[in-house]
Amino acid sequence: MNGQARSSEAGGVTDRPVVRAARRDDAALIAGFNLAMARETERRELDPQLVAQGVAAVLADDRHGFYVLADVGACAAGALLVTYEWSDWRNAHMWWIQSVYVVPAARRMGVYRALYGHVLAQARAHGACGLRLYVEQHNRAARRVYRSMGMRDSGYRIYEQEFAAP
């Protein structure tokens, strides 16, 4: 694991998510997360080889996107994929959260908030004009979480947060 954060809260010790850039040796883990996400949110079985190839392609070339992982204790607890889209009328990149998966055991530990906060800070620092994601309409739990993050819901179930011009 790439660092571990521990803090005392209410007299106990609690693991907090530590977000890090994904590495090539995380490919199998991320592919497994993507397969689990498709099963859970879309009730689909994806082709494991195709998913593994897609993950490996992103990890090999970050010009079009990147993965971040969140570790809790010694375990990977979640992954998030960001891609870039050029907005000609904004003259800047819009960052897209393409996929997010948090393991069930870590869903009440702030893992998504840690991943999102990390990506939000990076997007701003790199001059992105905003952060956007799609959500399956039937995924009500995810919709509530994204709204709580300050993202707006449109008719297409696109959530976005636009940044002020620099």
CATH of the domain at 138: 3.40.630.30
3-state DSSP: the chain helix, strand, coil percent, rounded to 5? 35, 35, 30
Quick one: residue 54, left, alpha or beta (phi over 0 = left, psi -120 to 50 = alpha)? alpha
pTM comes to: 0.75
Q: What is the pLDDT of residues 58-79, one digit of tens each?
A: 999 988 899 999 999 989 999 9
Total of domains in the chain:
1
Range of the domain at 123: 5-162
Of 7 and 105, the structure prediction assigns the larger pLDDT to: 105
- Measured distance CA(145)–CA(52) in Å, rounded: 28
Query: Using CA atoms in the order 81, 82, 83, 84, what is the torsion angle rounded to 10 degrees?
Result: 180
The DSSP secondary-structure symbol of 25 reads G
